[in-house]
Amino acid sequence: MGIFSLFGKKNNRQEKAVSTPSSSKKTRSKGQNTVIAAPLDDEAFSQSIMAQRHIARATERKIDAIEFEMSRDIGRAKTISNQSISNPSLSQQNPVNNLLVSESTFTDFESTLPLILPATDYQSNQSNDMIASSLMQSESVPLLEEAAILFASGQKEVAEQMLQDAIQQDNLGSAIQTAWYMLFDLYQISNNQSAFDHLSLDYASKFETSPPVWDNAASKAREISNISNDDATPSLTFPSQLDANVIKLLEKLQQLSKQSRSLRLDFTRVKQVDPIGCGLLLRTFKNLKKSNHELILVGAQDFTEKIRAILEIGRRDETEAPWLLLLEILQLLHFEKAFEETSIDYCVTFEVSPPSFEAPQNRVIMATQEISHAEEVSNRFMMPAIIEGKTDSLISQIAAHAKLYNTVLLDCSQLERVEFGASAQLLSGLVPIASKKDTTIQFHEVNYLVMSLFNAMGLKNVAVIFPRKH
């Protein structure tokens, strides 16, 4: 099959039916004059159609030639790799072999980055009323702290039952609302929307006020994170020009597709596309869909606009690839309405029946572009979603951040769980930072499960803890 056993090319290309305009004479009258329209030149029209087909075939042959070269190059790479295994000294003589091996191994590491958030949430000169309210909500309640420790230790079901009993018995006084918030957070983190909604009804009935709202964005972000963590999702970023040179990137994509069932494709840098690049990427998408690979598509919606920019209704170019790539991506993103509108434009342009929408069977997630190092740096430090195991690296990063600011603002808006053992390490690591003159540590947007854990571990003695607003 060659290189595109995975990325197979389209065979048996169907010729598009072309309706031949009628050559019958047309007449119109204006007074007594009669104008007879000249018949169309059937031979010239046929030659035009043949020329269009010839150009289309030439473009297809060009794509085939690029794929052939790609297949031959990978064949050589496999031969060299096999020789290196049988003769270890060969890889030492030729560093290119090591490069081929290293490029196929990816570690998807997300570093903690400063996050830009509204300044009103993080003013260092916050009012005394706000701090007093925060400290009041963080008073020690043994039952809630025990539930938080159980959750931190991985005993989610026991913690859930304990919080449900506490809510039912309603004997925690002013702290009872914290128990409700902890249970809301537990359901949100567990992605249990049904239980969350049921609890919302009970909350509204008891407190006669609006309950917390289910966070769809957090749920979607957690789904993406789960794919990345479970499968160590390799990530590829497409260049600014999607043209014939994209074949180099597709070679790497083919290798990665054999190692991982999930792939992350980033199109945020793409500025321009051409038909050749569209044709190559189209075949890649079709075969990834057939092989049921899970896809995380970053910037895909903006990418579709770059494709639309080179299309014009009624204009037949040398290949249909850009149109078909646009339709393929719209299907992957489940944009059915946009697909139907585009398919009609495609039908008018090429005089064929419009393709029908078919939702992909493989899982496809549309993601947004992450914040990059090049963006504006603020005095907010983003805490990771989960803190577990050794915290030496995290403490070092916080310490480096603390050298720049007297008030260390730790953003916990994405922090879901802190392992029990890791919380003790976090406390011991933050004590030296907090003990420095004129240095204050603040945890912001902390969910109530983590807040209760921090209270139990004594972090409230070295930092100010602001719980998340519900």
- Stronger pLDDT, 296 or 183, i.e. the higher one: 183
pLDDT value at residue 45: 54
Average pLDDT over residues 26-48: 48
The whole-number pLDDT of residue 72 equals: 56
Query: What does the pLDDT look like over 429-453, one tens digit per residue?
Result: 999 999 998 899 999 999 999 999 9
What is the residue extent of each domain of the chain?
A: 1-6+42-103
Q: pLDDT averaged over the chain?
A: 75
Range of weakest confidence among 88-97, 112-121, 203-212, 270-279: 112-121
Examine the pLDDT at 105 and tell me if it is beyond 70. Answer: no
Report the pLDDT averaged over residues 246-267: 88
* 288-327 residue pLDDT tens: 988 888 898 988 999 999 999 999 999 988 889 999 999 9
State whether the Cα torsion 49-51-52-54 is positive or negative: positive
